């Protein structure tokens, strides 16, 4: 009998693993980013059911992955999406008008490190969706032009999956983040709802021990934050880009301490990031 090579066995294990996951009634959708040299590839299901879906965004590439998922308005083409994203990049991320006109953001992550995975869930309407990495390579190529771009369709058939019960409600408004003043430590499911008119995200920052919200404000108000020393806070996770009327579920595992929740997305009309307009709310984890 011919011996199977190691790589054949590995491939076989992947195929069997995928099959058993499907047969076990796996109800989520996994999108995996891989990399070969300067080219990326984004693999995932072509079709999903509508209703609640949990997404797993997996980074097997060597660079951080910033995946975002959006529902396209009927008839919008990939070329139109890329043109709108091009305008957003040309404005250094400040003008979301073109992309907001054709797409409704469902959620995503601001940074999945190599080898890491990000999970979130959302209610999906039927339609055509895009999933893409936002940003540029070191030599200035848009990530969606080097393979970090994919599409999938959501049918009108229902997934039948119910959304998880959230322990924390966080509401995004123009321009306010509303959430409980005190949250229990440990892994909790958060429901993030965008009740504003603009596109928002939710970023969670832990304030350094011994520092306060006053230090955070002073840091942001300093003339040159890059030279003001290390920030008095650290990024502990978040949920990327959710359009008006949408919401998502995400788990955060926070240790005790002082935190703030903020939105750093830009207001094109007010020429300021949302946190400068009030979307920055302190909270305690106990």
Q: What is the rounded distance in angstroms from the CA atom of residue 39 to the CA atom of residue 9?
A: 26
Q: Is 112 or 265 the residue whose CB approaches Cu ion more closely?
A: 265
Q: Is 146 or 202 the residue whose CB approaches Cu ion more closely?
A: 202
Q: In angstroms, what is the minimal distance from the CB of 238 to Cu ion? A: 12
Q: Which residue is nearest to Cu ion (CB)?
A: 263
| Length of the chain in terms of residues written | 286
The residue ranges that bind Cu ion (CB under 5 A) are: 200, 263, 265, 274
Q: What is the rounded distance in angstroms from the CA atom of residue 159 to the CA atom of residue 162?
A: 9
Q: Is 228 or 277 the residue whose CB approaches Cu ion more closely?
A: 277
Local structure of 271: helix, strand or coil:
coil
Cα–Cα–Cα angle for 122, 170, 217, rounded to 5 degrees: 130
Q: In angstroms, what is the minimal distance from the CB of 55 to Cu ion? A: 21
Ramachandran angles phi, psi of 274, nearest 5°: -60, -35
Q: Is 29 or 203 the residue whose CB approaches Cu ion more closely?
A: 203
Q: What is the rounded distance in angstroms from the CA atom of residue 142 to the CA atom of residue 6?
A: 36
Q: Is 128 or 200 the residue whose CB approaches Cu ion more closely?
A: 200
Give 166's contacts (C-beta < 8 A, 6+ positions apart).
189, 190, 191, 249
């Amino acid at each position: 009998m011919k011996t199977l090579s190691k790589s054949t066995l590995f491939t076989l294990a992947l195929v069997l693993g995928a099959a058993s996951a499907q047969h076990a009634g796996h109800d989520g959708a996994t999108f995996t980013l891989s990399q070969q040299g300067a080219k990326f590839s984004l693999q995932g299901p072509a079709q999903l059911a509508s209703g609640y879906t949990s997404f797993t965004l997996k980074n097997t590439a060597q660079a951080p992955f910033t995946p975002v998922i959006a529902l396209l308005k009927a008839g919008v083409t990939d070329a139109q999406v890329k043109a709108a994203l091009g305008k957003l990049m040309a404005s250094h991320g400040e003008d979301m008008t073109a992309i907001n006109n054709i797409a409704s953001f469902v959620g995503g992550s601001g940074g999945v490190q190599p080898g890491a995975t990000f999970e979130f869930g959302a209610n999906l309407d039927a339609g055509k969706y895009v999933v893409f990495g936002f940003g540029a390579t070191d030599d200035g190529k848009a990530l969606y032009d080097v393979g970090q771009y994919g599409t999938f369709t959501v049918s009108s058939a229902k997934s039948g999956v119910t959304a998880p019960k959230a322990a924390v409600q966080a509401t995004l408004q123009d321009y306010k983040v509303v959430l409980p003043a005190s949250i229990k430590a440990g892994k909790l499911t958060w429901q993030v709802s965008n009740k504003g008119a603009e596109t928002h995200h939710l970023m969670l920052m832990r304030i350094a021990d011994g520092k306060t919200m006053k230090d955070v404000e002073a840091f942001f108000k300093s003339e040159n934050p890059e030279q003001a020393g290390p920030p008095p806070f650290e990024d502990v996770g978040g949920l990327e880009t959710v359009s008006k009327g949408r919401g998502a579920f995400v788990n955060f595992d926070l240790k005790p301490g002082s935190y703030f929740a903020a939105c750093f997305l830009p207001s094109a009309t007010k020429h300021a990031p949302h946190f400068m307009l009030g979307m920055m709310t302190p909270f305690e984890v106990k």
